[in-house]
Structure 1
Amino acid sequence: MILNMTTMFRKWSFARVVPVEAKFLTWECTTTFDEIPAQAELERLFEKEFPRTCMRLQESGGFYRIWHLVSFNFADGRRSRFLVALVENPIEKNGRRVLPEQIWLSAAADQIIRALPESDNAGNYLCYAHAEGRLFVLVFFEGRLCHWSEDDVGPRAKLDLALSRFRRFLESDALFSRANHFEEIPLQGDFSQALFKRASRDSFWRGRDLRKPEVNETKEFAEFASALLGHRLFWLAILAFALLLGKIWNPAHPSILKDVMPPELSMPEISLLEVSPDWNEVMDVSESSVPQVRKPQCLLPEIFLKGVVGEELAVIAMAGESKEILVGDSLGSFEVRAIGRDQITLTCGDSSIVKKVGAHE
């Protein structure tokens, strides 16, 4: 009886989950069809796209975690979207599982969705919460969490405008535009310990821990294959013994197994595509940029504004690569004069150009 009680206490103790402060963003990368990169490759790609963010986390003792959300085929290859948790500060070592505090919102959304009457929207929901000037958006596509973004939008009076922009993002997105309708659900209330614990036990968060880097199936298979190769002498001995046993047991009949040529495997070519770290980084996709008259000597390379983070940093695509820019940086003959909520202003002499998020010239 004492042993059973001790075992129960240990299970209860290690099952406790601690909420910590973190920030979520949704990130996308593209590979060849039916391929998801190994975790180490994902981290390399993320750090290449957001070097300053990763450097800031490293300097503050923080870190990030990447969790797979959904993958789907598109014309350019296999697109995979990941939920990225940014943890600014070190986590205290206490032996307990740690998860971001805002996961209670996913449990709140699930609770409301389960209480709704049956509908024909095929499990497509846009859930949002506004607290202390911050907008949290969770998108469920065909019943599965496929997007989570957080952004500072200011007072509640600007909430309608922010949601209107996000609806336009849903209509233009490669995955979400496939849905006919997203039922909108406002999430009310403050942090709930009960909902946090409930979320920690659902299918997505169960087993996840900010203390432990994610290990995907590709990495697990690689480790398994490495272990097999590490014991190749053992397996060769087993194979030789099996062949010898077969000949001794039935020497009159040769083996009917024939050697086959091994298939040639090619490594997938990985390329980065559009990133959605915050909802406002992919908004205004239907708006056009506003070029101003510029002199012939003012040359601007072809760029595409992918997103803006906190009106301080902008992410652009130039020459097929992503790049982070700040006010004062140069792009060709132009200088980055200002970074707004969803646009950047470039100047060269008396010429000025405004680039908006998602706009094509």
Structure 2
Amino acid sequence: MGYRVAVVGATGNVGREMMQVLAERNFPCDEVAAVASSRSVGTEVEFGDTGKMLKCKNIEHFDWAGWDIALFSAGSGPAKEYAPKAAAAGCIVIDNSSLYRMDPDVPLIVPEVNPDAIDGYTARNIIANPNCSTAQLVVALKPLHDAATIKRVVVSTYQSTSGAGKAGMDELFQQSRAIFVGDAVEPSKFTKQIAFNVIPHIDSFLDDGSTKEEWKMMVETKKILDPKIKLTATCVRVPVFVGHAEAVNIEFANELSAEQAQDILREAPGVMLIDKREDGGYITPVECVGDAATFISRVRDDPTVENGITLWCVSDNLRKGAALNAVQIAELLGRRHLKKG
């Protein structure tokens, strides 16, 4: 006996990836519903590579009764309106928006990092998926924190345009083409030209000069991993279609060498260490696309602090940063609480 699963936002980048991951991982589904806004009703989406096509149902009239799990990837607006309705009907919501992440009654989960926290889902019947840049970061930090206790993290991100949805990817493509043929380039989704450029601005600005994306990385890392960790981030949009990269500097309370860190990361769940100190002995965003792992490279000692290392972290943001993590949460929920399949 399997689950009845609704994928909300099924026509978007992440929604389609959720369908793909559910199928790839053979998640025990008796039934899958594609749910979307009224403008997408009747649109067909494929369930993975199975050839099975699902017609989108209208979220405004969807009956949540009898559904076990809803994977939401429709943004904060629909999550605010419909997630509580689904939860009240007994359907457990796993939400990919930022809306519930810092709610003290909603667990914020990365299964490789804080699986026990999922037990708190019963307070609201809602579980939050972290920000894409946070998810891959904490997968890398967790085993190192367990070994030597992290005091401080400085991270610079190189985030792909897919983090801004299909419109972001389209803008990169259209601007790149325009430049090659000599047409004018007009920013629309982004604040400045993204083709052949980098933009140190993701999400809205806060009073202290940081952006909301940078704030998310800080507060979400504290909630998921350890509230004592100090973290500062600079989040940058780069002209890449899929795959986020991060340059991470970590200061520890206890001694940890780069070689020890490599040994730890080599065995860590969800991590793939590719760290050869030679030309091409590292992973770049285009190489991580479609993969479930968080790739770690360029691990080295930081001589500027007493106990510090620096590393390079790359992951498919549509997968570990969103769809894959949500499905892994559903798998964890099934093992610990629902016991089907």
Which has a greater percent of helix?
2
Superposition TM-score, scaled by structure 1 size = 0.25
Which has a greater percent of strand?
1
Larger-gyration structure (1/2): 1
